[in-house]
Amino acid sequence: MDDDLRATSTANEFLTFSLGNEEYAVDILKVQEIRGYDKVTQIANSPAFIKGVINLRGSIVPIVDLRIKFGISEPIYDQFTVVIILNIAQRVVGVVVDSVSDVVSLQNDQIRSAPDFGAVLDTRYIVGLCTIEDRMIIVTDIEQLMSSEDMGLIESVAV
Highest mean pLDDT (candidates 4-13, 80-89, 150-159): 80-89
pLDDT (tens digit per residue) in 38-79? 989 999 998 999 999 999 999 999 999 999 988 887 888 999
Residue in 15, 18, 68, 14 with CA at minimum distance from that of residue 40: 68
Q: Which residue type is seen at 102? A: D
Q: What is the C-alpha separation between 77 and 64, in angstroms, rounded?
A: 14
Which pLDDT belongs to residue 29?
95
> What's the whole-model pTM score?
0.84
Say if strands 91-97 and 59-65 run parallel, antiparallel, or are unpaired. Answer: parallel
- H helices present in the chain, as ranges: 3-8, 66-70, 142-146
Q: How confident is the model at residue 9 (pLDDT cuts 50, 70, 90)?
A: low
The residue-averaged pLDDT of 111-131 equals: 78
